[in-house]
Amino acid sequence: MERRSACILTAGIALGVVLPPLLNRVHAAIANATGKAKKEDAAANSTTHAVRDGLLSSSVRLEKSKLDAFLSRIFVSAGCAVSHADLVASVLSFADARGIPSHGCNRADTYINEIQAGLVDASAAPIVSEISGCCAVVDGRNGLGAVTSQLAMETALRLAEEHGASVVVCHSSNHFGAAGFWAKMALDRGMIGMSFTNTSPIAVPTGGKTRAVGTNPFCFFAPAASGEAFSSIWPRPLSLLGKWKSCTERGRRCRWGGAWIGTDPTAPRGKRFASLADFTPSAVPRRPPGTRDMDWECL
């Protein structure tokens, strides 16, 4: 009995010596993991960098193929051909997969609203209306921007293979998603790719008082050694409408660099690259630059 009591006492003392430090380590590890997750969320919430916006440790994640299938069904139900719906879905999920939610699946609702409001023709099939040497013009026939851009890039790649370089512009088209999706098509073929677009004139250029340019991206992709690649979206008006919309939907202010941008994403911004991306797609097909104002009330 005495021996058993002594064993129990010894075991109790051993547990009393060993267990508290172990418990303290476990609690510290849990606290550290929790604190790290909170810091990650706080860091993500304190920035609106396009690559990190909306990506929290607590974010819901799903397979890209499932997102593609879901988005495609939505567009088919809105009257799009299956092939067109699949293409638009892949363009939107491409942006989300790269951490750019401003041009990801949250755009689906805008696209559908545009179709239902009669602003975009879901059944339109774009055509190559003009071609001369290494240059071509694509008429989007007011169809989906992704469908028009697909034809434009396929034409550009074919002409580049034939002539060494090419320029293809589009008109009567609509929002084409993330510019990088199209430049990457050239990159995947071992070519340098540039994609840019004009938009509705919703931004006020620096020094101006009225809206005159769009939030126009200029994207550049180029292959590099060892399978690497260079990719960049050059400067454009500092507040992208999609990014601003993405932030406001999450109840967050929109920030660029060290400046917080208020509730108006159209306040005065830089104009040089915006003007370049505005006039280039307009001059070749002889179309007026950035003159189409969207009926935002229906969106």
Question: Tens digit of pLDDT per residue, the chain (299 long)?
Answer: 555 555 554 555 555 555 566 666 766 666 666 555 555 555 544 444 434 445 556 667 788 999 999 999 999 999 999 999 999 999 999 998 887 878 889 899 999 999 999 999 999 999 999 999 999 999 999 999 999 999 999 999 999 999 999 999 999 999 999 999 999 999 999 999 999 888 777 777 777 777 777 777 888 999 988 888 888 876 554 445 666 666 666 666 655 444 444 444 444 445 556 666 666 665 555 565 555 544 434 33
Pick from 96, 113, 114, 117: which is nearest to 105 by CA? 96
Give the pairing type, strands 218-223 and 167-171: unpaired
The H or E element containing residue 169 is strand 167-171
Do the Cβ atoms of 158 and 150 come closer than 8 Å? no
- DSSP, collapsed to helix, strand or coil, labels residue 175 as coil
Q: What is the dihedral of CA 264, 71, 172, 246, to 10 degrees?
A: 10
Question: Comparing C-alpha atoms, which of 230, 148, 226 is closest to residue 187?
Answer: 230
Query: What DSSP state is assigned to residue 297?
Result: G
| Distance from C-alpha of 254 to C-alpha of 21, rounded to nearest angstrom | 46
Separation CA 265–CA 253 (nearest Å): 11
Q: What is the DSSP letter of 128?
A: E
> Looking at 4-121, which runs of residues are DSSP E strands?
none
The three-class DSSP label of residue 251 is coil
Tokens of 282: 């307009």
Three-state DSSP at 275 gives: helix
Q: Encoding tokens for residue 34?
A: 């929790």
What is the token pair recorded at 171? Answer: 């008109």
- Cα distances (Å, whole numbers) of residue 56 to 15, 44, 95, 99, 272: 40, 6, 16, 11, 34
Cβ 59 vs Cβ 101: under 8 Å:
no
Q: How far, in Å, are 16, 76, 148, 169 from residue 285 at the CA level? A: 83, 31, 14, 7
What's residue 193's pLDDT? Answer: 95
Per-residue model confidence (pLDDT) at position 103: 87
Helix axes 82-97, 179-187, angle to 10 degrees: 90
